[in-house]
Chains A and B, each alone.
Chain A
Amino acid sequence: MTSQENAAAKRTLGERIGALPKPWKITAMVLIAAFFYVLPLLEPPFISTPGADFGAVMFTVATYALVALGLNIVVGYAGLLDLGYVGFYAVGAYSVAVLTTYHAHWPFLLAVPVAVLAAMISGIILGAPTLRVRGDYLAIVTLGFGEIIRLVANNTAWLGEAGGINEIGKPPNADLFDVPHLNWDSGSPLLDVQDKTTVIKFGILDQIPYYWLALTVVIIILFADTLIKDSRVGRAWEATREDEDAAELMGVPTFKFKLLAFAMGAFVGGLSGALYATKTSFINPESFILILSILFVAAVVVGGQGNRWGVIVGAALVGYLPERFRGFEEWRILVFGLALMVLATYRPQGLLPPRRTLRARQVEQEMDALEGESTA
């Protein structure tokens, strides 16, 4: 009586949202999306970051979310441990940089597809020989790959060497209208007519238009991700991840699907790198160090690998928290390390574990309940 009813009543928030009728769901999503677009303009008092430009922080969070989604495909869906994801990020960024500056002067929008393609190709080049090796070795090889990319950029003259490349091309502008920010200095929100964002002008100072661009890309990728996960491809990944040998036996060409996961992860990573390059307009090898790969993996694992919302939450934490607490700058990495250890010990499945884990747990609960009853 009791445990079965409890199991039925304890529906998670995710399930309750999923159970709403479709028009409500769509409205809710549109509202939530709109909220995120407007967020940097609102500059809410506790969330906004003192000492760092809030728009820039939101952009970082958006690009990290994009990266986390891409890495989620590789790590979460396909179960491949990739410690060199920053390599794809770098390939995307450098492709855009090289094409839009002194080498070719292409417009930014034309350079992006090339950058993404380059990243995908590098993913395939990396994956083809290495995906045949065992899990942990894959981690090391990918780590090596990420570092090789950075070192090659550091030592090659036409990639700018250590000095990097600056004046990277921007997306096209459309000078439509100005939107003022909110100013909370006096305690209640006022419209600050001096602090404005132009829709849509991609300049140097104002990062918010870049954030909007990144957010749009994130939403598009989220859609694509939903479609793919529920398709044959997603199921093949799940089978490969859970038990590769059994999947092979059942006729799943695991190698091809692993390579596909790599290529798609590289695609998204390269896209994120391209956005990063255009926003900062100056990149150098220091922007793509190993610790960034580790940060990305941490975002995915901490958030909940395999759960697209979880990894976004993870990315938001990883991108936002260090900037929010900038005063404690010196302690940032220490706190980050401690957080990783604590989270790994006490919540290893991540903050938002993928639904299958929940389903599996519920099944376990029901079985326990049944067994408990039968022995009672």
Chain B
Amino acid sequence: MDVQFLIDNIFTLTITGLVLGSVYALVALGYTMVYGVLQLINFAHSEVFMYGTFAATFTVMALGGTRDTSTGGAILMLLLALVAAMLVSGAIALVLERVAYRPLLRRNAPKLVVLISSIGASFVLAEIMGLRDKITKFVGLDDSLSAYVTRARNNVQFPDVVDPVRLFKIGDYNVNSIDLLILGSAILMMVGVDQFVRRSRLGRGIRAVAQDPESAALMGVNSTRVIQVTFLIGGLMAGAAAFFFVLKYTVTRYDVGFILGVKAFTAAVLGGIGNLRGALLGGLILGVAENYGSALFGTEWKDVVAFLLLVLILLFRPTGLLGEALGKSRA
């Protein structure tokens, strides 16, 4: 156990962990909200995230972003990429709800069956992206779109339009602009969603359905609308996370959602599934814990740390750190 290494680099590990954790937190939000309202694990949420990464990447590629793009132009492109990612992820989430979940929920299908359907949806979405070269070939578009669809199963590079600007130092680590952007935006967005759920009418509807779907329906809450909005918010947040992800790690691939999804779900459970603030807390803690774990035991044990943390939390505090709260209104 390399404790010395951990201590020497505590600032670097903590800050990069927080940045990674912000991405986890934004994705975790989708899992936690859907679980809070429907008590089901949306397995396909990781693919909602993945589509966002491709939307952001393709947008910047289509706009011709390169390292020679001016700063102003780059910022514009990035904004458009963010919007594109959020819209695409939101759309995919809505489609998912309509196609994979609503028919089953209408029939009161047992939860295991809904889970299987969501697993199937996850595969379908991921494979569509992985097979995009073959699919576009069918419709004869593969030549015109070749920059986007060749080598469909390989890494796709997010154009380097922006160089991270080193801002200040904390300990040994140079905090750069991208780090701050990610961390700051994640916190802002979580606060925004939290406020929305607390204060708006739709937000109250979400909490009502989470607490007791039948009474909510009796009180005139349109549960279909509520479920749609839940999926949409989760999707939008995942899209934002997707944008930050490609900004920081500069590559994406059709299977990028999978492991990230499991980790994000871990984060949601860690913080208390159904609890929005819990998603943020859980994500940040998981990101930092993973880094500490890699420092102590070696990078190859990173994922084991995440799963072990999950198992331990579920054993000793099954409701998560902040407890399940979506159904319990505190306002």
Check if B170 is an interface residue, CB within 8 A of chain A. no
CA distance A139 to B114 in the complex (A): 14
B307 in complex: contacting residue of A75, A148, A344, CB < 8 Å: A148
Closest B residue to A142 by beta carbon equals B311
B127 engages A144 (CB within 8 Å): no
Candidates A144, A290, A334, A343; contact of B123 at CB < 8 Å:
A334
In the docked arrangement, what's the CA distance between A82 and B92, Å?
Answer: 28
Which of A96-104, A175-183, A202-210, A293-301 faces chain B?
Answer: A293-301
Q: Which of A134, A144, A145, A341 contacts B121 (CB 8 A)?
A: A341
Interface centre among A140, A147, A343 (most CB of B within 10 A): A140
Contact A141 B124 (CB under 8 A): no
Instruction: Check B41–A136 contact: CB distance below 8 A.
Output: yes
Q: Which of A136, A137, A334 contacts B124 (CB 8 A)?
A: A334
Could you tell me the distance between the alpha carbons of A129 and B114 in the complex, rounded to whole angstroms? 26
Q: Let me know if B111 and A136 touch, CB within 8 A.
A: yes
**A-binding segment of B57-65, B68-76, B297-305:** B297-305
| Chain B count of residues within 8 A CB distance of the other chain | 45
Determine if B109 and A344 form an interchain contact, defined as CB atoms under 8 angstroms apart: yes
Any B CB within 8 A of the CB of A185: no
The interface-forming segment of A17-25, A151-159, A186-194, A269-277 is A151-159
C-beta contact mask, B12-55 vs A, less than 8 Å → 1, else 0? 00000000000000000000000100011100000000000000
Mark out the residues of chain B between 284 and 309 whose CB falls within 8 Å of any chain A CB in the assembled complex: 298, 300-301, 303-304, 307-308
If A334-B128, A337-B122 touch, whether A344 touches B314 (CB-CB below 8 Å) is no
Query: Is the C-beta of B164 less than 8 angstroms from some C-beta in chain A?
Result: no
Alpha-carbon distance A136/B131, docked complex (angstroms): 32
Contact of A137 among B117, B131, B269, B298 (CB under 8 A): B269
Expressed in whole angstroms, the minimum distance between the Cβ of B228 and any Cβ of chain A is 19
Cβ–Cβ < 8 Å partners of A331 in chain B: 127, 131, 134
Q: Interface 1/0s, chain A 120-142, versus B by CB < 8 A? A: 00000000011001111101110
Residues 220-243 of B contacting A (Cβ, < 8 Å): none
Interface residues of B in 234-258 (CB under 8 A from A): none
> Which residues of A sit under 8 angstroms from B124, Cβ to Cβ?
334, 337-338, 341
Residues of B within 8 A of A341 (CB): 99-100, 117, 120-121, 124
- Check B116–A151 contact: CB distance below 8 A: no
Asked whether any CB of chain B lies closer than 8 Å to the CB of A61, the reply is: no
Instruction: Indicate whether A133 sits within 8 Å of B314 (C-beta atoms), given known contacts A152-B304, A337-B127, A348-B107.
Output: yes
Q: Select B113's contact among A147, A301, A339, beta carbons within 8 Å.
A: A301
Q: Are B318 and A133 in contact (CB under 8 A)?
A: yes
Q: Quick one: which of A294, A297, A340, A343 has the most chain B CB within 10 A?
A: A340
B residues in contact with A133, CB < 8 Å: 314-315, 318
**Residue pair B117, A344 in contact (C-beta under 8 Å):** yes
A140 touches B314 (CB 8 A): yes
Contacts of B310 in A (CB 8 A): 140-141, 144
- Cβ of B311 and Cβ of A337 under 8 Å apart? no
With A301-B116, A341-B100 known to touch, is A136 a contact of B39 (CB < 8 Å)? yes
Contacts of A336 in B (CB 8 A): 120, 123
Majority SS at the chain A contact face: helix
Minimum Cβ distance to chain B for residue A123 (Å)? 15
Query: Shortest CB–CB separation between residue A322 and chain B, in angstroms?
Result: 13
Q: Report yes or no: A134 in contact with B114, Cβ–Cβ below 8 A.
A: no
- B113 contacts which chain A residues (CB < 8 A)? 301, 344, 348
A345 within 8 A of B: yes
B50 to chain A, nearest CB (A): 14
Interface bits B93-110 vs A (CB < 8 Å: 1, else 0)? 000000110011001011
Can you list 21 A-B contacts (CB < 8 A)? A75-B112, A133-B314, A136-B40, A141-B314, A144-B308, A144-B311, A147-B307, A152-B304, A330-B131, A333-B123, A334-B123, A334-B124, A334-B127, A334-B128, A339-B120, A340-B119, A341-B120, A341-B124, A344-B120, A345-B104, A345-B117
Q: Footprint of A on B, CB under 8 Å?
A: 35, 39-41, 99-100, 103-104, 107, 109-117, 119-124, 126-128, 131, 134, 262, 265-266, 269, 298, 300-301, 303-304, 307-308, 310-311, 314-315, 318
A contacts, CB < 8 Å to B: 75, 81, 129-130, 133-137, 139-141, 143-145, 147-148, 151-152, 154-155, 290, 294, 297-298, 301-302, 305, 330-331, 333-334, 336-341, 343-345, 348
Q: A148-B311, A344-B117 are in contact. List 16 more A-B contacts (CB 8 A).
A: A130-B314, A137-B314, A139-B41, A140-B310, A141-B310, A144-B308, A147-B304, A151-B304, A155-B298, A155-B300, A155-B304, A301-B112, A334-B128, A337-B120, A337-B121, A339-B120
